[in-house]
Amino acid sequence: MNKKGILYSNALYTFMAIIVGFCVGAVLLAAAGIDPLEAYGKLFSGIFGNVKCMTWCVVYASPLIFTGLSVAFSFRTGVFNIGAEGQFVAGSLAACAVGVLADAPAPLHALLCISAAVAAGALWAAVAALMKVKRGINEVLSFIMFNWLAFYLSNYVVNLPAMRRTGGGEATKDIAGTALILAPQGLIRLTGCSAVNYGILLAVAAALIIWFIINKTTLGFGLRAVGYNPFAAKYGGINADRAVMTAMSISGALAGLGGAVQTLGMSWRLSQFAGQEGFGFQGITVALIGSSNPIGCIFAGLFYGAMKYGGTKLSLVNAPAEVVDIIMGTIIIFIAVAHIFRNFFVLKFAKEKGGECE
């Protein structure tokens, strides 16, 4: 990549935004009387300290990569999937229900759970898509409603007699061992992380597939065309209604898959929620940091997962873990205004070289 290419690329500005985010967080920590170096030291040793920490970060990242992909895919197809939260919950609920109630041999059971989660996530989004296509109802509105419906439905199912665990705890019974997607025992012992699972492999595979669909297939071209301009796409012979249905279903399926990875890989049961868990909303951040690029979402998801896991270590130095949210928010706002800097730098570079500028 030449110098001009670097100045144009999103990665440079994302990197700058991350540095600014950490600076803002440091100022706040210092203002609250906490040594920022000590707090960040704890954060980074919580992330890179040893193999166990790094593995946990990856485990935390897998579901976020999925919701990030879900939102990124929706951005590329002209829809704003603020409903990834609900689709994620629908997916984890379906995976958990099949995992607890059904009975099947090892790889098949997990496959059944994952299929159920994909179907549930896709369905949760498809209903909102249908409302948009048939009745013109703004998808942001229906997604917000469906988020809460999923939330209460999940809490309802968790408390059903068939699902609820006996002997206390507001959660379901443990999912059958045959349905879990845990890595082999050897790897668990080697890394010291009790929840190493295949989620990250699934996430990377999904990102590659989505990248391929968006960029290399007729389907992806049609979806993007509808996203850019539905009227022009219609004029060009693309069935816009069907494209919206397809795009939103795929987006929902991805979020649902994320729910399955979280339940089958890490939590092994579903607890009653007190408030929305935020995987879907965090997915919006992942998509933004990854500039809506599926491959970018892998790295953005890993970054967010690491910050989320590292943030849990901050309490050791009495620093509020919320500083992670503040850093994330600052990063997003700087990514949002990055094009100003880009124009500035690119113009400057062009002037120095005496070349053309746009």
Partner 1 sequence: MNVWIKDLGLLINAMLIATPPLLYAALGSCFSERCGVINIGIEGMMTIGAFTGAVVAYFTGSGWLGFLCGGLAGAAFALLHAAASISFGADQTISGTAINFLAPGLAVFLCKAMFSNSSDSPALDVSSKLPKMLTGVFESGSFGYNVLSTYYAAWLAFLLAGVIWFVFYRTRFGMRLRAAGEHPQACETLGINVFRVRYICVVLSGFLSGLGGAYVTLAIVSQFRPSVIVGQGFIAIAAVIFGKFTPQGALKACLLFGFCNGVKSLLGANNTVSPNLISMIPYVVTILTLVLFVGRSRVPAANGKPYVKAR
- Compare residues 215 and 318 and give the one whose CB is closer to partner 1: 318
Distance CA 125, CA 120 (A): 9
Is 53 one of the binding residues for partner 1 (CB under 8 A)?
no
The 3-class SS string of 248-278 reads HHHHHHHHHHHHHHHHHHHHCCCECCCCCCC
Rule CB under 8 A: say whether 330 interacts with partner 1: yes
Q: Contact between 95 and partner 1 (CB under 8 A)?
A: no
CA-nearest of 184, 254, 193, 203 to 49 is: 193
Q: With respect to partner 1, which residue has the nearer C-beta, 83 or 265? A: 83
Please report, as a single letter, which amino acid is at residue 328.
M
Residue positions counted in the chain: 358
Q: Is 324 an interacting residue with respect to partner 1 (CB under 8 A)?
A: yes
Instruction: Of 122, 113, 67, 70, give the one whose Cα is nearest residue 94.
Output: 113
Question: At residue 307, what is the residue type?
Answer: M
Choose, by CB under 8 A, the member of 27, 106, 138, 189 that binds partner 1. Answer: 138
Q: Hey, which residues between 13 and 42 contact partner 1 (CB under 8 A)?
A: 28, 32-33
Interaction of residue 317 with partner 1, rule CB under 8 A: no
Nearer to partner 1, 339 or 348 (CB): 339
> Within a 10 A sphere around the Cβ of 342, how many other Cβ atoms?
16
Distances (CA, A) of 307 to 29, 85, 96, 171, 326: 16, 20, 27, 27, 11
279 to 298, contacts with partner 1 by CB under 8 A?
281, 284-285, 288
Which tokens go with 27?
Answer: 């100022």
How does 37-73 read in b/e, with b if 16+ C-beta sit within 10 Å? eebbebbeebbeeeeebbbbbbbbbbbbbbbbbbbbb
CA dist 232 and 97 (Å) reads 43
> With CB under 8 A as the contact rule, which of the stretches 155-163, 219-227, 241-249, 345-353 interacts with partner 1?
155-163
Q: How far apart are CA 7 and CA 318, in angstroms?
A: 39
Applying CB under 8 A, which of residues 219, 333, 346, 350 lies at the interface with partner 1? 333
Work out whether 3 is an interface residue with partner 1 (CB under 8 A).
no
316 binds partner 1 (CB under 8 A): no
Interface residue with partner 1, options 102, 140, 188, 204 (CB under 8 A): 140
Q: Which of 15, 156, 228, 235 binds partner 1 (CB under 8 A)?
A: 156
DSSP 8-state code for residue 79? -
Are the C-beta atoms of 46 and 309 separated by less than 8 Å?
yes
Applying the rule CB under 8 A, the residues between 246 and 275 that interact with partner 1 are 274-275
**Which one of 15, 23, 50, 80 is in contact with partner 1 (CB under 8 A)?**
80
Please identify, among the stretches 105-113, 231-239, 260-268, 332-340, the one whose residues bind partner 1 according to the rule CB under 8 A: 332-340
Footprint on this chain of partner 1 (rule: CB under 8 A): 28, 32-33, 80, 82, 131, 135-138, 140-142, 144-149, 152-153, 155-156, 159, 274-276, 281, 284-285, 288, 318, 320, 322-326, 328-330, 332-333, 335-337, 339-340
